[in-house]
Amino acid sequence: MTRLSSGQRARARSKRLAPLVLATLLGIGGLATWRVEHAAPPPQEKDKPRAPANRVILPQDATQLAFLKLEAVSLAPLPASDPMNARLALAEDRTARIFPPLAGRILALKAAPGDTVIPGAPLAILDAPDFGQAVADLRKAQADASLKKKALARAQTLFEGEALARRDLEAAQADARAADAEADRARLRLANLAPPSSRIEGQRLILRAPLGGVVVDRQANPGTEVRPDATTPLFILSDLRHLWLNIDLPEQAADLAKPGAAVNFAVEAFPGERFSARIEQVGAMVDPATRRIPVRALVDNADGRLKPEMFARATISQPKAATVIRVPVGALLTDGLTTRLFVQISPREFERRRVSVARQDAEFAYLTPDSGIKPGDQIVVRGALLLASELAQGE
């Protein structure tokens, strides 16, 4: 019997296994084909409900709800002008700047900045030698006038007894009138320095408040030497219940500013609040440096909330101005061509609407009547960008 080599045995074994491997592969392939054909189709995702165009519906647990701030829109008169720079100032016709009438030295201070004083209240006590001189001049003038009156009485008696010439009588009359005039001059000078009813103690001069108000400023300390020709007043008193609003009016708005016109203004100290004033005077010429017309309005400041030197943004109102929708500027979204805002439809549903702005300032925008916003609508004044982002993802 012939023995096969190892190579021949391997080839013979491969021939015997080939049909078995082919059958196995065919069986596996058929099984895979059967499974693919008879497998259940993958579950189709149900279509999610989509919000209408320009609307955002947030889930009940959406974190964006915590960042949204809503506010009801309201009506307001349409301003006749764009916001203008303005500044609150002391009402000069209700303000007194007090300088010392004589040179001297401050002995004591009776009022401090912020104090409220009444007319005639003492502000400071000065040691003024010239005041003592004025007191002495009055006393000497009164004594001389009394002496001249007695001389005139004697001359009158002698003249009636024909013991005095008429010329001497007329000279005595002239001396008496001159003495009276000097006494009146000295009395008026002293009354200018101290009220007639005040108590005079040597050369101590008391500075008194000429009007009631608040001590706005004080540039005095005990022992300070003062002079009447100083450039800075010792005290500034003002009735702060009234202030002036100085407005820089552009040339193009000159026709809007008339005495008696109403002015609305806002200050940074009270954001969101509007104050009113009334124009008292309009400048007669344009400032050549700023090209603005100075306008002065009177502000009623009975509660004292407004302070002098506050900066303001003012607008002039017309008596028959149209009433329009006013919204905070933070509610607007502008892409350069259009302006939109979000209106709440339901607790978690918001609609984006296109609006038109008639006039805008730093705080508010005034919409045109065709904007489709009604008084009482709840609009998003903070967080509108979050809603816009959600709306962009859904588009």
> Is there a domain that residue 215 lies in?
yes
Closest by CA position to 339, among listed 350, 348, 327, 349: 327
Question: Read out DSSP for 67-131?
Answer: G-EEEE-EEEEPPSS--EEEEEEE-GGGEEEE--SS-EEEEEE---TT-EE-TT-EEEEEE-HHH
> Is there a domain that residue 224 lies in?
yes
Question: Read out DSSP for 299-326?
Answer: EE-TT--S-TT-EEEEEEE-TTPPEEEE
Q: What is the CATH classification number for the domain harbouring 227?
A: 2.40.50.100
pLDDT score for 49: 52
What confidence tier does 317 reach under pLDDT thresholds 50, 70, 90?
confident
Q: What is the CATH classification number for the domain harbouring 165?
A: 1.10.287.470
Question: Read out DSSP for 191-211?
Answer: HHHS-TTSPP-TTEEEEE-SS
Q: What is the CATH classification number for the domain harbouring 263?
A: 2.40.30.170
Report whether pLDDT(341) > 60.
yes
Closest by CA position to 140, among listed 171, 186, 203: 186
Say if residue 121 is in the same domain as residue 229. yes
Domain boundary residue among 297, 317, 337? Answer: 317
Say if residue 313 is in the same domain as residue 335. no
Please provide the distance, in angstroms rounded to a whole number, between the alpha carbons at the two ends of the chain.
Answer: 87
pLDDT score for 53: 73
Q: Looking at residue 66, what DSSP letter applies?
A: G
Copy the structure tokens of residue 236: 């500034």
pLDDT score for 26: 45
pLDDT score for 274: 85
Domain that holds residue 170: 129-198
Does this model's pTM top 0.85? My answer is: no
Q: What gap in Å lies between CA 163 and CA 67, rounded to an integer?
A: 111
Domain boundary residue among 317, 345, 363? Answer: 317
Minimum mean pLDDT among 14-28, 96-110, 113-127, 164-178: which range?
14-28
Say if residue 123 is in the same domain as residue 207. yes
Lateral strand order in the sheet of 74-77: 74-77, 323-328, 364-367, 357-360
The mean per-residue pLDDT over the stretch 341-345 comes to 93
> Is there a domain that residue 13 lies in?
no
> Is there a domain that residue 249 lies in?
yes
What confidence tier does 21 reach under pLDDT thresholds 50, 70, 90?
very low
Q: What is the CATH classification number for the domain harbouring 389?
A: 2.40.420.20
Which residues neighbour 164 within 8 Å (Cβ) at sequence distance 6 or greater?
Answer: 155, 158
Count of domains forming the chain: 4
> Is there a domain that residue 207 lies in?
yes
> Is there a domain that residue 43 lies in?
no
Closest by CA position to 81, among listed 259, 245, 265, 246: 265
Report whether pLDDT(362) > 90.
no
Report whether pLDDT(193) > 70.
yes
Please count the other Cβ atoms lying within 10 Å of the Cβ belonging to residue 184.
13
Say if residue 264 is in the same domain as residue 355. no
Q: What is the pLDDT of residues 122-151, one digit of tens each?
A: 999 999 998 889 889 999 999 999 999 999
> Is there a domain that residue 188 lies in?
yes
Supply the Cα-derived Rg of the chain in whole angstroms.
47
What confidence tier does 79 reach under pLDDT thresholds 50, 70, 90?
confident
Say if residue 118 is in the same domain as residue 232. yes
